[in-house]
Amino acid sequence: MEDIVDWSFTREWINTNPLDTPCSAKLSKIQGNKIKKLNFAHPTIDIQQRNYPRLYPRGIIPCVECNSAKDNNEHIGLCTAHTTIITQLISDASDILLTLMLEETAEQNYALRNTIKESKLFDISFELFLFKDHPFYLLIHHLVPKDLTDIFYNYIPKKKKRFEIFIKFMNIIMANIDAHIWTLLKIKRNFIGKTTIQIMIVRIRTRTSIDKEIILVINIIPIFPPLIIAVVVSLITTPIFDGRRVIFYIRVLENHIEIEFGSI
């Protein structure tokens, strides 16, 4: 990894303070999260199993996205379910980098465009999934690849300006990566290990055409997104299904859950 990671730029990125205060609990949390990700120590399911054996079942728990590989740090970025969004993130990153650098090197427009286009970092020729030796895989884990910093060294001679543009670029692209990969995975993992969930459903129309508000308490079987099967445990308010067993199909989305139901 020594020959493909630029540790000077990585250190600059880790130590960057996006807040107004020089030190705070929030800053420590931000920098701590970066360090966990680059050290492949982010709390994925395998780490949670090790740290909280009573909360997580034994054995291999698969990725909450593809359901086919072990959920660990190494798998993040390689998951087949991430391919489409990663392709888009790479395309966006190349455009963002070009825009930021042209503000300083407008006279080298053509050469810069070619350099970015031909860089391995912005190669989107992969089909099924991102390869582990792809420089963007390092970037997903908050490690700065030399394929990126070589562009800065070649086109931005002044060190201060070089780091300034680099931090602008990283703030934008890493916010996108965290939102579409890390944060989304965290939301979906939060459903693993939970056996009961309470849901309020407002204005359900019954056979008598009366709109009612109900609260359902349901058991989850099993807890593996994106498709979860759940069975009603109890109805907090007046039952509207006449005591029949009800099957709920719950699909976990980015920031909410989608519910379909029917009686059997």
Q: Which segments within the chain are labelled E, that is strand?
A: 196-205, 211-221, 227-235, 246-252, 257-263
Instruction: Answer yes or no: is 127 within a domain.
Output: yes
Classify residue 75 by burial, with Cβ atoms within 10 Å: 0-12, 13-18, 19+.
buried
77-93 burial, b if ≥16 CB within 10 A, otherwise e?
bbbebbbeebbebbeeb
Range of the domain at 252: 196-263
Of 189, 221, 236, which residue sits at a domain end?
189
Of 151, 171, 189, which residue sits at a domain end?
189
Of 189, 204, 219, which residue sits at a domain end?
189
Residue 106 has what DSSP assignment? G
CA distances (Å), origin 119, targets 5, 85, 93, 94, 130: 15, 19, 12, 9, 15
Asked whether residue 218 falls in the same domain as residue 181, the answer is no
Classify residue 158 by burial, with Cβ atoms within 10 Å: 0-12, 13-18, 19+.
exposed
Asked whether residue 69 falls in the same domain as residue 185, the answer is yes
239 is written with which tokens?
A: 């039952």
Asked whether residue 26 falls in the same domain as residue 144, the answer is yes
Close Cβ partners of 138 (under 8 Å, ≥ 6 residues apart): 4, 5, 144, 145
Q: Measured between alpha carbons, how far is 248 from 246 in angstroms, rounded to an integer?
A: 6
What per-residue confidence (pLDDT) applies to 192?
56
Instruction: Answer yes or no: is 2 within a domain.
Output: no
Helices 7-14 + 159-177 axis angle, to 10:
70
Total structural domains within the chain: 2
Longest CA pairwise span in the chain (Å): 75
Asked whether residue 234 falls in the same domain as residue 251, the answer is yes
Check if the beta carbon of residue 5 is closer than 8 Å to that of residue 146.
yes
Asked whether residue 182 falls in the same domain as residue 231, the answer is no
What pLDDT tens digit does each residue of the chain (264 aa) get? 668 999 999 999 999 988 878 888 889 999 999 999 999 999 888 898 888 887 677 788 888 888 888 989 999 999 998 899 999 999 999 999 999 999 888 777 889 999 999 999 999 998 889 999 999 999 999 999 999 999 999 999 999 999 999 999 999 999 999 988 988 787 676 655 544 444 444 444 444 444 444 444 444 434 344 434 344 443 433 344 444 444 444 444 444 444 545 443
What per-residue confidence (pLDDT) applies to 5?
97
Q: Measured between alpha carbons, how far is 16 from 66 in angstroms, rounded to an integer?
A: 33
Close Cβ partners of 235 (under 8 Å, ≥ 6 residues apart): 214, 215, 216, 217, 241
What per-residue confidence (pLDDT) applies to 90?
97
pTM of this structure: 0.71
Classify residue 142 by burial, with Cβ atoms within 10 Å: 0-12, 13-18, 19+.
buried
What per-residue confidence (pLDDT) applies to 215?
45
What per-residue confidence (pLDDT) applies to 173?
95
Residue 82 has what DSSP assignment? G
What per-residue confidence (pLDDT) applies to 64?
80
Asked whether residue 203 falls in the same domain as residue 114, the answer is no
Asked whether residue 47 falls in the same domain as residue 173, the answer is yes
Residue 80 has what DSSP assignment? G
CA distances (Å), origin 46, targets 26, 40, 51, 63: 26, 12, 9, 10
Strand, helix or coil for residue 209: coil
